[in-house]
């Protein structure tokens, strides 16, 4: 981490969390943040994901740039791919403030934003103006006051699908009441039918992912894997934030919302491994949750991930974390003489016939 980045992070950490979030995006959009430029890449790091070509497997998770305000800068921040949003059909303000809390002692955050965004049309317009480069995806959701939330996902697909390189169906945010009910097998299958129909009407084929919660039991996870196979989903992102509050010490630990960051790593990695086993490794998985080092990225890949995404750790370690992880992964792949496809799902007990994590 450079001196400039350290100074910037320390300054942001002194501000209200949401003010710091907004200020960082403004600074990126104005070109005030030093960035590495081209992502770290090599023959070892390049990976194919659902028809997309990634220069490296380290991505940015949705939730940071909800409104696609700093896309060109983020495309030069060292990531192999980025995900924006979530976008809903209509603009909405989200939940009342305060709604973002830093748990510094736990290297975590709690948020209850509630899909605050400028709406699918505005976000699609900004996305369509981005430069060429790494894949840029859009996380899609439903309006809080919608009478048909499943239909909202199809509507965002129609409005913004052509502007993105992939779409992520977000039925796992804990901050929109009853949204997670759409993870049930019957409801999810119907929702995905609508999204796929809308996707198939677009001028080009856009891969569709789904993002799941870490708070699922084995039966629910099995159901989701079956629905994903039947719907021919292109990838599954595991996982979103958790409602669990185990082993936290911060004074903010009782705040409502989704917890992300270091405390989520173990649970999200367990879910990832179980999902890899459920799908037999036949659906690409993206590992998210608590990654703050190259070792943790390595562990996610071994648990079944084809690629990984960062978010919360960036608050404490800065954007240079993406390049550092990519560089260290490249070096370790070289030293251990293993390829990324060979690494994926290589943890003990994760073969398709395995019955234990």
**Which positions are annotated as active-site residues?**
173
**Two tokens, residue 254:** 């009782």
What is the dihedral angle through the alpha carbons of 51, 330, 315, 168, rounded to the nearest 10 degrees? 10
SS (H, E, C) the chain: CCHHHHHHHHHHCCCCHHHHHHHHHHHHHCCCCCCCECCCCCCCCCEEECCEEECCCEEECCCCCCCCCCHHHHCCECCCEEEEEEECCCCECCCCCCCEEEEHHHCEEEECCCCCECCHHHHHHHHHCCCCCCCEEEEECCCCCCCCHHHHHHHHHHHHHHHCCEEEEECCCCCCCCHHHHHCHHHHHHHHHHHHHHHHCCCCCCCEEEEECCCCCHHHHHHHHHHHHHHCCCEEEECCCECCCCCCCCCCCCCCCEEEEHHHHHHHHHHHHHHHHHHCCCCCEEEECCCCCHHHHHHHHHCCCCEEEECHHHHHHCCHHHHHHHHHHHHHHHHHCCCHHHHCCCCCCCCCCCCCC
Residue 63: cis peptide before it, omega within 30 degrees of 0: no
**Two tokens, residue 17:** 């969390």
Which residue matches tokens 């911060």? 250
Determine contact, residues 57/80, Cβ cutoff 8 Å. Answer: yes
Of 80, 77, 160, 178, the closest CA to residue 117 belongs to: 160
């Amino acid at each position: 981490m450079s001196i400039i980045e350290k100074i910037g992070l320390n300054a942001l950490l002194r501000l209200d969390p949401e003010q710091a979030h907004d200020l960082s995006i403004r600074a990126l959009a104005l070109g005030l943040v030093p960035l590495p430029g081209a992502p770290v890449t090599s023959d070892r790091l390049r990976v194919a994901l659902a028809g997309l070509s990634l220069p490296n497997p380290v991505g940015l998770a949705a939730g940071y740039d909800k409104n696609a305000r700093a896309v060109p800068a983020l495309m030069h921040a060292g990531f192999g791919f980025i995900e924006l949003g979530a976008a809903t059909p209509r603009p909405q303000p989200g939940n009342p403030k305060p709604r973002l809390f830093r748990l510094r002692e736990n290297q975590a955050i709690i948020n209850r934003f509630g899909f605050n965004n400028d709406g699918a049309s505005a976000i699609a317009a900004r996305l369509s103006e981005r430069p060429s480069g790494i894949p840029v995806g859009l996380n899609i959701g439903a309006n809080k006051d919608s009478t048909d939330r499943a239909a909202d996902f199809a509507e965002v697909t129609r409005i913004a699908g052509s502007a993105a390189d992939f779409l992520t169906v977000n039925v796992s945010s804990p901050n929109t009441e009853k949204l997670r009910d759409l993870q049930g097998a019957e409801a999810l299958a119907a929702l995905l039918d609508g999204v796929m129909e809308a996707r198939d009407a677009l001028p080009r084929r856009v891969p569709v992912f789904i993002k799941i919660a870490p708070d699922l039991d084995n039966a629910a996870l099995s159901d989701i894997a079956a629905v994903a196979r039947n719907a021919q989903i292109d990838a599954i992102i595991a996982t979103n934030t958790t409602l669990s509050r185990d082993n936290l010490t911060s004074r903010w630990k009782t705040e409502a919302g989704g917890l992300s960051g270091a405390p989520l790593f173990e649970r999200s990695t367990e879910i990832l491994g179980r999902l890899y086993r459920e799908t037999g490794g036949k659906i690409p998985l993206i590992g998210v949750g608590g990654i703050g080092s190259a070792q943790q990225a390595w562990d996610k890949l071994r648990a079944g991930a084809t690629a990984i995404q960062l978010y919360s750790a960036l608050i404490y370690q800065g954007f240079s974390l993406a390049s550092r992880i990519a560089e260290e992964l490249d070096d370790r792949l070289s030293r251990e003489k293993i390829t990324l496809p060979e690494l994926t799902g290589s943890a003990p007990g994760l073969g398709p016939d395995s019955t234990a994590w």
